[in-house]
Amino acid sequence: MHESLFQPIQLGAISAPNRVLMAPCTRTRAQDDYVPSEMMATYYAQRADAGLIISEATGISQEGLGTARAPGIWNAAQVEGWKPITEAVHKAGGRIVCQLWHMGRVVHPWFIGGQPPVSASATRLEEGMAHTPAGRFPYETARPLRIDEMARVVEDYALATRNARAAGFDGVQLHAANGYLIDQFLRSSTNHRDDDYGGPAENRVRLLREVLEGIVSAWDAAHVSVRLSPNGDSQGADDPDPATLFAHAAQVVQDAGAAFLELRQPGPDGTYGSTTVPQQDAVIRAIYKGPLVLNSDYTPAQADADVASGRCDAVSWGRLYLSNPDLATRIHKGAALTPNRGAPKSWYYPSPEGYIDYPTLEQEAAQASA
Residue 235 gets which letter from DSSP? T
What angle separates helix 38-46 from helix 76-91, to the nearest 10 degrees?
30
With a CB cutoff of 8 Å and minimum separation 6, the contacts of 166 are: 79
Q: Hey, which residues does 54 pair with through a beta bridge?
A: 97
With beta carbons less than 8 A apart as the criterion, state whether 365 and 329 touch: no
Supply the residues annotated as catalytic.
Answer: 180
User: For the purposes of burial, counting CB atoms within 10 Å of the CB of 274, is it exposed (0-12), middle (13-18) or buried (19 or more)?
Assistant: middle
Can you say whether the dihedral through the CA atoms of 232, 236, 237, 239 is positive or negative? positive
CA distances from 289 to 10, 122, 140 (A): 13, 36, 39
Q: Which residues pair with 130 in a beta bridge?
A: 137
> Largest alpha-carbon pair distance within the chain?
68
